[in-house]
């Protein structure tokens, strides 16, 4: 059974979270947590970085932080990404992003 717990890691720069993206969805939304990864549906296509920009904007808006506080560390060309969030605690991220069953 997939883990419903979001896998977060503190780093010297902020907090890293693992994300699995579904581009070209009908709308942008959280879709739960599976195997420690945040599942995010994005309306944007995976062309010219549009989905990556949409992901960073969506996470920043959801966490209430600036767009510049969120960046993709790994996986810019993959559906599975590591996203760095600065200036927001692990507990706050967990509270705001975990989708309860």
Domain boundaries along the sequence of the chain: 8-97
Q: What is the per-residue pLDDT for 3?
A: 53
Q: What is the per-residue pLDDT for 99?
A: 56
Distance separating alpha carbons of residues 33 and 40, to the nearest angstrom: 9
Q: What is the per-residue pLDDT for 5?
A: 84
- For the chain, residues with pLDDT lower than 50 are 1, 100-101
Q: What is the per-residue pLDDT for 97?
A: 83
Name the nearest CA neighbour of 38 among 70, 7, 75: 7
What is each CA distance from 32 to 14, 26, 59, 77, in whole angstroms?
Answer: 22, 16, 14, 22
Fold for domain 8-97? Answer: Conserved Hypothetical Protein Mth637; Chain: A; (3.30.1200)
């Amino acid at each position: 059974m997939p883990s419903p717990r979001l896998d977060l890691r503190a780093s010297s720069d902020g907090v890293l979270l693992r994300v699995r993206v579904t581009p070209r969805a009908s709308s942008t939304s959280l879709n739960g947590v599976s195997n420690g990864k945040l599942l995010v549906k994005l309306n944007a296509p995976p062309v010219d970085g549009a989905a990556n920009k949409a992901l960073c904007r969506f996470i920043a808006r959801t966490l209430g932080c600036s767009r510049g506080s969120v960046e993709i560390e790994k996986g810019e060309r993959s559906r599975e990404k590591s996203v760095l969030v600065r200036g927001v605690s692990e507990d706050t991220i967990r509270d705001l992003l975990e989708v309860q069953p």
